[in-house]
Amino acid sequence: MPWHPSVLKPYLNLLAESSSPAALEGSARSLQKPSAGNWEFAAYIRADFRKEEGLSILIELFENGYGKVVFSLATSQRNMALDVHNKELTGKYAMRDQVNRFPGRTGPSVLSDETTVAICCALRKVTGKNMKNAKALADSGRIEKLTNMTKGRGDRSSPKVMKAAAQVLNTSWQFRDLQSIYRKDGWNQNHFITPVSTLGQGRFKSHPSSNTTNQHSGSINSCIIVKTTPTERTLMHTDCVCCLLIAIKILILVTELTSQLY
Side chain identity, residue 246: I
Residuewise pLDDT in 10s, the chain (262 residues): 555 667 788 889 999 999 999 999 999 998 998 899 988 889 999 999 999 999 999 999 998 888 899 999 999 999 999 999 999 999 999 998 898 888 764 444 478 899 999 999 999 999 999 999 999 999 998 899 999 999 876 556 789 999 999 999 999 999 999 999 999 999 999 999 987 556 655 444 444 444 433 433 333 444 644 444 444 444 444 445 555 556 665 666 656 666 666 6
| Cβ–Cβ < 8 Å for 161, 149 | yes
| Cβ–Cβ < 8 Å for 96, 52 | no
CA-CA-CA-CA torsion sign (239, 233, 71, 45):
negative
Report the C-alpha gap between 109 and 74 in whole angstroms.
17
Residue 6 has a pLDDT of 72
CA distances from 137 to 37, 71, 118, 215 (A): 25, 20, 16, 25
Of 30, 119, 16, 113, give the one whose Cα is nearest residue 61: 16
Half-sphere exposure for 3 (CA within 13 Å, toward CB): 15
CA distances from 242 to 2, 6, 13, 29, 226 (A): 13, 20, 17, 10, 22
CA-CA-CA-CA torsion sign (17, 23, 29, 35):
negative
Of 144, 134, 124, give the one whose Cα is nearest residue 186: 144
- What does the longest C-alpha to C-alpha distance in the chain come to? 72
Report the C-alpha gap between 183 and 31 in whole angstroms.
40
Helix (H) or strand (E) holding 245: helix 230-261
Of 8, 129, 23, give the one whose Cα is nearest residue 68: 23
Extents of the domains making up the chain: 1-93+235-262, 126-227
Residue 51 has a pLDDT of 93
Report the C-alpha gap between 27 and 33 in whole angstroms.
11
